[in-house]
Amino acid sequence: MIRKRRFGALATLCMMTMITVVALATPAGAVMTGPCSGSAVFSNGTVVDGAQPLSVISVIPEKDVVSYTGQIDISPPDDEIPFSGSMQAKVAGIANIPLASWSGETDDVSVGGVYTYEAPSWVPRGTGEINVVGDHDHNGTLCSVSVNVTLEGSPGAVAIIAATGTALFFAGVMAAGFKKTGVGQ
């Protein structure tokens, strides 16, 4: 009977782990929609292109001045038209960090420039994917892109704390599956 309970607890834990891994798995194909293209060049030489597959995880500096270009593949309008967009990062699949937003009116269909950023100290370095998502609306012509990056550096204390927490959780789940004996039993 005890063996059946232990096996049941272990089987449940394995099934939950498999479901979680499958649910959080990142698709391997590129995730770019709409008639757009764009790229970013970092000081460490990394180039992130909007057409690269999500299976490519680009290593970028934790703070940098990045050069970017973008283009929407439509004919240039005769008059200025409204546009808007934003970029955000999803860290560990849970925390959405706003990176940038823009809006206005223009008759341009391409843009280029530089952007300065610094990742918060709690974002893990050297491990884990950060999914960066951007959306752009150019007078009703919609584009979106999704790329995966990770920050340069060592994981440090954040990774140690996370690993310790995972080990303690696993030990607690396993202990919960065992029949308790003792006083009053």
**pLDDT tens per residue, range 129-170:** 889 999 999 999 999 999 999 999 876 655 566 656 565 665
Domain regions of the chain by residue span: 26-154
Q: What is the pLDDT of residue 19?
A: 37
Q: Please name the residues in contact with 37: beta carbons below 8 A apart, sequence gap of 6 or more.
A: 50, 51, 70, 71, 73
The residue ranking higher by pLDDT, 127 or 12, is 127
Q: What is the pLDDT of residue 177?
A: 62
Distance between CA 65 and CA 168 in Å, rounded?
40
Q: What is the pLDDT of residue 143?
A: 93
Neighbours of 10 (CB within 10 A): 13
Q: Are 169 and 120 in contact (CB under 8 A)?
A: no
Pick the CATH number of 26-154 from 2.60.40.3880, 3.30.230.10, 3.40.50.300, 3.40.718.10: 2.60.40.3880
pTM of the model: 0.65
Q: What is the pLDDT of residue 162?
A: 60
